[in-house]
Chains A and B, each alone.
Chain A
Amino acid sequence: MTLPIYASPEQLMRDRSEYARKGIARGRSVVALKYADGLLFVAENPSATLHKISEIYDRIGFAAAGRYSEYESLRRAGIRHVDLQGYAYDRRDVSARQLANVYAQTLGAIFTEQVKPFEVELAVAEVGARPEEDQLFRLTYDGSIVDEPRFLVMGGQTDPVVSKLKEVYVEGSALAEAFAQAVQGLKAGLSNGAELGKLEVAILDRHRPGRAFRRITGAELDALMPANGDGAKEQDKQAQGEDKGAKQATADKKEPGKAGEADKGRQAGDGQGE
């Protein structure tokens, strides 16, 4: 009989973490951010039917990165959990915080007890009656839970996306602006020369009664798309410059004017490109 090779618990956990992290980094990025009327999810997703973003409950949304089969089973389990909770008690008794805790427990148990950890990262978000009540949680493969105050990026090459979003993110933006910020972030994560693929976009809209989750598709999505190609890059630069300039000023009031200027800059950029 051969003895199993000894591995220290630290080594085991490290190996598992590395395995999960690699799996998650292989996919494409998902961005979730808070905006004036709720929460916005933007994911690069070539499939129109295998969603990365989904509705969980009346005011709760879900986004995931990593291995589809694994986060899909977590998504279904989450819907079952909240529907049971809401049916046994009341619809108001369902909260994102509670769901995030359940997910954290589940992911933690899988990470420590099973041979293969889940290669997923989840976002659970809830839209409140006022912007201060909006919640955005990040759940990682090992069951860690983080309450994100502004935005989160999961999957793929997150570092460039995060640093880009740190530059361009403005609290309390309107939907179109928030979407432009998310797209700029996602573009920063692309390797040189690559084009941004098909986007899956959804919002949790504070002003929708009942079920707040809504997908943005088709013509509505096209209308939101800022621009493409060189023009967009110009706009990026412009927005960056403006952002630095506007940092000291009160962000909210400057917004419309700033967007307008950035727009002009983009048009000018188009002209130069040709």
Chain B
Amino acid sequence: MEQPQAGPLSPAYLSMSTSSFTEFLRAQSPDLLPGRRQLGDATSLQAPHGTTIVALTFSGGVAIAGDRRATAGNTIAARDLEKVYITDAYSAVGIAGTAGIALELVRLYAVELAHYEKIEGVALSLDGKANKLATMVRANLDVAMAGLAAVPMFVGYDTDAADPARAGRIISFDVTGGRYEERGGFHAIGSGSPYAKSALKKLYDPDADADAAVRTAVAALYDAADDDAATGGPDTVRRIYPQVVTITAEEGAVHVPEERIEAATEAVLDERRSAREARR
């Protein structure tokens, strides 16, 4: 393995024509690439799994949110895992599936986007970013076949879009690298996704503002946690709340501050409490 060192840059560094960091790794340090492992059957392996991610568009942007739980079999492996990552100024990725594989994927992906932008002087187009991620998911297929599947969901703000109010986009993937544009304006992945999606279906409003979208995302995750054991609900004792990233033209991709998520969670909980009171 060629580790970076203090000696002169090898001629390959100077002469390579690729703008892709993954291609560069493949030539220079292939052992750092994900998905190049010799695997047996890993289905019996209880590696930590991340679970539910939801995404929805709103007027002038897009939001993506994830719960914080990772499970290994029937135990909780992590309570405060971060599953939503900002990958560049206008995109973010949420991950579900085998945590180790997914974290490695998203880390390489963020470097890949920044690397391209630095080398070429311009960022990739939104579709370019999504296609790149699809290739990286496909490269992981062998590992997925062995039982360690990891699937991301991509959200981005398309700075080239004709209508800035509808420029938020959501793209989902399957383990074979299939890339699906979610034109409905919302989507969820992971074990709690059926419940989250049913909630989103009722609550989704394409003309909502960012705050309302954050609240909807939190509510959908609450519903997922309600029925899916692998999805973590809000933990008011440890003050662990879902993670939300919003992407807008003005601010780019930013993590929503914890106070705002806490407030949104409280609002959802109050709403549920009062609905229950009213039924009595």
- Residue numbers of A with Cβ under 8 A of B are 49, 51, 54-56, 73-74, 76-81, 83-88, 98, 101-103, 105-106, 108-109, 211
Q: Which of B8, B13, B108 contacts A80 (CB 8 A)?
A: B13
Interfacial chain A residues near B257, Cβ < 8 Å: none
Shortest Cβ gap from B113 to chain A (Å): 11
Residue pair B121, A56 in contact (C-beta under 8 Å): no
A-B contact pairs, 28 of them (CB 8 A): A55-B118, A74-B14, A77-B9, A77-B13, A79-B115, A79-B118, A79-B119, A80-B13, A80-B24, A80-B115, A81-B13, A83-B21, A83-B24, A83-B111, A83-B115, A84-B24, A84-B25, A85-B4, A87-B107, A88-B29, A88-B32, A98-B6, A102-B9, A103-B9, A105-B6, A106-B8, A106-B9, A108-B8
Nearest A residue (CB) for B6: A101
Task: Report the separation of the CA atoms of residues A98 and B28 in the bound assembly, to the nearest whole angstrom.
Answer: 19
- Most chain-A Cβ atoms within 10 A of its Cβ — which of B3, B8, B24? B8
Residue pair B121, A49 in contact (C-beta under 8 Å): yes
Residue pair A84, B119 in contact (C-beta under 8 Å): no
Task: Report the separation of the CA atoms of residues A105 and B108 in the bound assembly, to the nearest whole angstrom.
Answer: 28
Task: Report the separation of the CA atoms of residues A73 and B14 in the bound assembly, to the nearest whole angstrom.
Answer: 5
Interfacial chain A residues near B44, Cβ < 8 Å: none
In B19-36, the 8 Å CB interface with A consists of 21, 24-25, 28-29, 32
Residue pair A84, B9 in contact (C-beta under 8 Å): no
Instruction: Report if B236 contacts A (CB, 8 A).
Output: no
Residue pair A54, B121 in contact (C-beta under 8 Å): yes
Instruction: Report if B15 contacts A (CB, 8 A).
Output: yes
In B103-151, the 8 Å CB interface with A consists of 107-108, 111, 114-115, 118-119, 121
Interfacial chain B residues near A211, Cβ < 8 Å: 114
- Residue numbers of B with Cβ under 8 A of A are 3-4, 6-9, 13-16, 21, 24-25, 28-29, 32, 107-108, 111, 114-115, 118-119, 121
**19 extra A-B contacts, CB within 8 A, seeds A80-B13, A87-B25, A105-B6:** A49-B121, A56-B118, A73-B15, A74-B14, A76-B13, A77-B14, A80-B115, A81-B13, A83-B111, A84-B24, A84-B25, A84-B28, A84-B29, A84-B32, A87-B21, A88-B3, A102-B8, A103-B9, A109-B8
Nearest A residue (CB) for B3: A88
Task: Report the separation of the CA atoms of residues A86 and B3 in the bound assembly, to the nearest whole angstrom.
Answer: 11
Interfacial chain B residues near A102, Cβ < 8 Å: 6-9
Residue pair A88, B15 in contact (C-beta under 8 Å): no
Shortest Cβ gap from B179 to chain A (Å): 24
Residue pair A54, B118 in contact (C-beta under 8 Å): yes
Interfacial chain B residues near A101, Cβ < 8 Å: 6
Interfacial chain B residues near A85, Cβ < 8 Å: 4
Task: Report the separation of the CA atoms of residues A49 and B122 in the bound assembly, to the nearest whole angstrom.
Answer: 10
Interfacial chain A residues near B108, Cβ < 8 Å: 87
Task: Report the separation of the CA atoms of residues A132 and B13 in the bound assembly, to the nearest whole angstrom.
Answer: 32
Nearest B residue (CB) for A94: B4
Interfacial chain A residues near B119, Cβ < 8 Å: 76, 79
Shortest Cβ gap from A58 to chain B (Å): 9
Shortest Cβ gap from A126 to chain B (Å): 15
- Most chain-A Cβ atoms within 10 A of its Cβ — which of B4, B32, B119? B4
Interfacial chain A residues near B111, Cβ < 8 Å: 83, 86-87
Residue pair A80, B6 in contact (C-beta under 8 Å): no
Task: Report the separation of the CA atoms of residues A98 and B119 in the bound assembly, to the nearest whole angstrom.
Answer: 20
Interfacial chain B residues near A109, Cβ < 8 Å: 8
Nearest A residue (CB) for B31: A88
